[in-house]
Structure 1
Amino acid sequence: MGMKKTTRTAGLAAASAALLFSGLAAPSAASAAAPSLDWGACVGGAPDPRQRCATVEVPMDYSDPGAGTVDLVVSRIPTENLAERRGVLLLIPGGPGNSSLNDPSGRGQKLPQDVRDAYDLIGFAPRGLAPSTAVSCGLAYEDLAVTRVARPYPAPDGSVDAAMSAARRMSEACARNGGELIRHISTANEARDLDRVRAALGERKVSAWGVSYGTYAGAVYSRMFPHRTDRIVLDSNDDPDPRRVGRAWIAAHERGVEDTFPEFAAWASAPDSPVRLAGTPAGVRALFLRLADRLDREPIPWPNANPAELNGNVLRQSMLQTMYDPDGFERLARLIDGARDGRVPPVTAPSPQQVAGLQNSLAVGAGTLCNDIAWPRDAAVYEKGVAESRAAYPLTAGMPRNAMMCAAWPFEPQEPPVQITDAGPSDILLVQNERDPATPLAGALRMRAALGDRARMVTVDSTGHDAYLANGNACGDATVTRFLATGERPERDVYCGRGTVPPQPRGETAASVTGRERSFV
């Protein structure tokens, strides 16, 4: 879909802005989606036939509404019980660069029945991501490797020279191939887009479930449009530090991996493990570090992979990604076990459609990270950070503080990052696993502190990325479900230990409530 010129007037834009910040009552249960949206079949079909799609037109540049528009494709599965309908639940995806377009058919169907009764489930493809108006940097295939573009690792000796060179090459490709739209991809613009979606749906307020990067996007929406929020769940939370934004999210992987690896090491050293790598957790860690170091020097050819070898950094990145879900522990252990003997699992080469999708997703991710805040351009900054990280967090070998594409981004941010504060209604619930390789607890606590009394937090004694209805526990799930379905939120922060019985609804006796509570801020 291409960008279109628009004739929206400045007066209309000003009136809309004034309305956004006015205090409004909660939507009525009978509120229905605006009939102006043309709901039809989703491009490529949908996993659930109830899911329908529509297009919302938004300004490409909110500071210059006359500069053109882009299309956002949204999806919906209506409430399963109209009499119980409260409003809409936005499913805000992670990434940045991911879509929630099929989430009403997917993770939305994992929601308990009383939540599905309360809301229309709404997904969307963020600006820049197909089938919304799409962008691409047209990167060389070799530059699509995760260890080069999304999570660039330093050289085995810690040098950042190759990363800086790649950053310049890839940023030039984005400037050459990304068009005007890539300059206008940012978290603040995603929040503005979401409010246009809200208006198009005919809703005065929206609820939301944001995951990973979606927690930051959800927090930014709640900061920019506080009186448009109803019940907001932020799941697996990013550090909202306005001085660093995306730099802090990537840097957090060093802490997240150190928090999570002991769980894998315990699993891989247990006597009953299907792939026992060593007799103790310390032995598993030592084995991993030795193997990664050996693969730095002697990589194993890996046909159809990108890069086409299993080197130390590919092993490290495979470890990081696998620990997003403990169900992947066996797959990681088998990779390590095979690599010891020079064996790698077979890999199928990606299709042209998959490559195009990766180009699209990476362009949106880069645009968001690089437009949200200006990154340092001096290689010495990254050299210092990499050296410190390699010494303190050897499992990730300096990657979290290395230079990525943003170190050479050709555009300046068009506005400062949104600072998350406690201003606004107290309608946010954070849920967070204690051991998360991507969004560690330390960053979530900073999000909690920034939101102040706007939020409560349920911390789950569990491992993996994504907590609610994924890698958390019954206590955490019940706390979030109750908030979404009834609005009942813990009076203070809650800690859900392993085996903790879900907290009971208010009105039960104190003796019957077994969920332990802990104040974090």
Structure 2
Amino acid sequence: MRTTLLIAAIAVLGATVVTPTASSAPARLDWAPCPAGPLPTPDLECTTLEVPLDYRDPNGRRIDLTISRLPSKNPQKRRGVLLTNPGGPGPGGLDYPQLLKLFELPQDVLDTYDVIGLDPRGTGHSTPVACDFTPEQVARGNLPYPNGPADVLDQAERAKAQAKRCAESESGPLLPHITTANTARDMDRVRAALGESTVSYLGASYGTYLGAVYTELFPRRGDRFVLDSNLGAGGYDIEAMHGFARGMEDRFPDFAEFAAARPQYGLGTTPAQVTAKFHELAARLDRAPVAGITGSLFRGLTFEGLYSADLTALAENWQALDAGKAPDVPTTDDLDTLLSARFAVICGDSTWPRSVRSYQLDVEVNRLRYPLLGAAAANISACAYWPAPLEPRVRITDQGPSNVLMVQNQRDPGTPLANARTLRSALGDRARMVTVDQGGHGVYLFGTNRCANTAVTEFLVTGKQPSTDVLCAAETR
């Protein structure tokens, strides 16, 4: 559920901030079975809520938000609602409460909250956006690996074409409003529509920044907030993109050791040999792709595989490509909407450099600093040609109640620890962070560490926050 580079490969605000009024009467919500999706959702019920497209014009155009609910069945223990977000940006989150239940969300949490899912604005069954990308644009993705300055120039032309296609699409007028700040405002409309004075939250990956923005815009309406696998304090800005390369360098040694210890894969018998195999395969696939997998996509495939706690599938895919066979890569439906919404949020949240030369320099610096992925993570994207954001980026501060628990793997490829620490610093005494000695993307439920899982469950159920930051030692099941 976390959007990866492979898919992408494919001051409190001032007077400009408009927030919903707390005195508005709750909207009427008519709950019904959820729309069909890839995951059966027998325990969920769904409804639709209208919200302003532009919160600066609350009486103007409206868009739809589709919401799901996994109701608590224990009225004596029910505390309120737990909004959730699985990450992205780009994917929907309507079925996420069901997925959390399948991953054994503890009964105490299910008793304490109605667990709420949401397809954020621009995605899924909410009012979607679509840039109508060509199949070639979808297949190429956002950040291909450049082998030199000429490749950056080539990518700049492609990125410019992507931005132009978005601007001229039917969704063009919506795109400037598909931002993290507006999604946080939508979350507060959901809270009000549910008749709740406060809301708790469980957000992963990009969802950590969304949660942090909500706590900044609505500090007194947050109850218990869990941020799992954290972006930096700037959200999905250029530093977060560069952070993919740092994260891969942090995580890759785990895979190199894993593959070296299993000679049946034929990838090398030492970590150094496995690392050499990575570079050899990338170069070979650039010369002769296998089943459409180029060297650039191989790097993205590897990056994506490092998200998992179980590295078996990644080793098997390397083995297949080494033998000239197609890897077992899952497909994702509706990539146009996913990529369009992703661009809208990432490009619309921050101001991006415009100079192609600055990207060429960053590519060469990061190629040396992070040899596995640095050049791709620093490459130019459509954000360089996107219209300027409609409002300043929300600055995360330490002003507000102490009600945030961060959980973070030490070796997370997608949201590296170094970036997570910037969010921890920005939140100050509002937060505590539980750091886990394990690799992969995702801690709570999706990880194997009982120390961290217990800390999150206890916080959600009782509100007990660690008195200091915590380091959870490595564990195996």
Q: Secondary structure at the match of 1:104?
A: helix
In the other structure, the counterpart of 2:299 is 316
Within 2, Cα distance between the matches of 1:67 and 1:35?
17
* Structure 2 CA distance for partners of 1:438 and 1:398, relative to 1, 3 Å: same
Q: Which amino acid aligns with 2:433?
A: M
**Which residue, out of 194, 211, 218, partners 1:218?**
211
Within 2, Cα distance between the matches of 1:408 and 1:38?
41
In the other structure, the counterpart of 1:70 is 63
Per chain length, whose mean CA-contact separation is higher, i.e. which structure has more relative contact order (CA < 8 Å, sep 6+)?
2
**Which residue, out of 254, 273, 277, partners 1:263?**
254
Within 1, Cα distance between the matches of 2:255 and 2:423?
27
Within 2, Cα distance between the matches of 1:14 and 1:471?
38
Contact 1:429/1:489 (<8 A) preserved: yes
Q: Secondary structure at the match of 2:130?
A: coil
Structure 2: unaligned runs, 5 residues or longer: 1-16
Following TM superposition, by how much is the alpha carbon of 1:402 offset from its aligned partner in structure 2, in angstroms? 0.8
Structure 1: unaligned runs, 5 residues or longer: 1-12, 21-32, 303-308, 502-521
Within 2, Cα distance between the matches of 1:264 and 1:16?
47
Within 1, Cα distance between the matches of 2:434 and 2:174?
38
Q: Secondary structure at the match of 2:133?
A: coil
Contact 1:158/1:398 (<8 A) preserved: no
Q: Could you state the TM-score of these two structures normalised by the residue count of structure 1?
A: 0.84
1:266-415 to structure 2, matched below 5 A, reads 266-270=257-261, 272=262, 274-296=264-286, 298-302=287-291, 309-327=292-310, 329-345=311-327, 357-409=334-386, 411-415=387-391
Q: Secondary structure at the match of 2:49?
A: strand
Q: Which amino acid aligns with 2:195?
A: G
Q: Deviations over 1:66-103 (max 9, x none)?
A: 33100100000110211100000001231101211001
Contact 2:22/2:192 (<8 A) preserved: no
Q: Between Structure 1 and Structure 2, how many residues are aligned?
A: 458
In the other structure, the counterpart of 1:10 is none
Q: Secondary structure at the match of 1:374?
A: coil
**Which residue, out of 36, 40, 47, partners 1:44?**
36
Contact 1:260/1:437 (<8 A) preserved: yes
Following TM superposition, by how much is the alpha carbon of 1:340 offset from its aligned partner in structure 2, in angstroms? 2.8
* Structure 2 CA distance for partners of 1:288 and 1:425, relative to 1, 3 Å: same
Q: Which amino acid aligns with 1:165?
A: E
Q: Indicate whether 1:152 and 2:116 are aligned.
A: no
Within 2, Cα distance between the matches of 1:158 and 1:492?
49
Q: Secondary structure at the match of 1:71?
A: strand
Q: Deviations over 1:39-68 (max 9, x none)?
A: 112122672323110111100001112331
**Which residue, out of 433, 443, 465, partners 1:489?**
465
34-43 vs 486-495, greater mean Cα deviation: 34-43
Q: Could you state the TM-score of these two structures normalised by the residue count of structure 2?
A: 0.91
Q: Secondary structure at the match of 2:32?
A: coil
In the other structure, the counterpart of 2:10 is none
Query: RMSD value over aligned CA atoms?
Result: 2.2
Q: Deviations over 1:122-156 (max 9, x none)?
A: 000000112111110000001112xx333333246
* Structure 2 CA distance for partners of 1:44 and 1:344, relative to 1, 3 Å: closer
Contact 1:152/1:404 (<8 A) preserved: no
**Which residue, out of 44, 49, 73, partners 1:56?**
49
Within 2, Cα distance between the matches of 1:16 and 1:189?
11
Q: Which amino acid aligns with 2:415?
A: T
Following TM superposition, by how much is the alpha carbon of 1:208 offset from its aligned partner in structure 2, in angstroms? 0.3
1:134-283 to structure 2, matched below 5 A, reads 134-145=128-139, 148-155=140-147, 159-177=151-169, 178-241=171-234, 245-270=236-261, 272=262, 274-283=264-273
1:453-492 to structure 2, matched below 5 A, reads 453-492=429-468
Following TM superposition, by how much is the alpha carbon of 1:16 offset from its aligned partner in structure 2, in angstroms? 4.6
Q: Deviations over 1:316-365 (max 9, x none)?
A: 111000110032x22222232233333333779x6xxx65x211111111
Q: Which amino acid aligns with 1:264?
A: F
Following TM superposition, by how much is the alpha carbon of 1:425 offset from its aligned partner in structure 2, in angstroms? 0.3
Following TM superposition, by how much is the alpha carbon of 1:227 offset from its aligned partner in structure 2, in angstroms? 0.2
Within 2, Cα distance between the matches of 1:276 and 1:208?
44
Contact 1:267/1:273 (<8 A) preserved: no
Following TM superposition, by how much is the alpha carbon of 1:182 offset from its aligned partner in structure 2, in angstroms? 1.1
Within 2, Cα distance between the matches of 1:320 and 1:482?
32
Following TM superposition, by how much is the alpha carbon of 1:14 offset from its aligned partner in structure 2, in angstroms? 8.4
Contact 2:19/2:55 (<8 A) preserved: no
**Which residue, out of 56, 65, 73, partners 1:80?**
73
Q: Deviations over 1:464-520 (max 9, x none)?
A: 00111112401000011100011111000010001399xxxxxxxxxxxxxxxxxxx
Within 1, Cα distance between the matches of 2:216 and 2:141?
30
Q: Secondary structure at the match of 1:221?
A: helix
In the other structure, the counterpart of 1:132 is 126
Within 2, Cα distance between the matches of 1:157 and 1:417?
30
* Structure 2 CA distance for partners of 1:316 and 1:37, relative to 1, 3 Å: same
179-188 vs 213-222, greater mean Cα deviation: 179-188
Identity in percent: 45
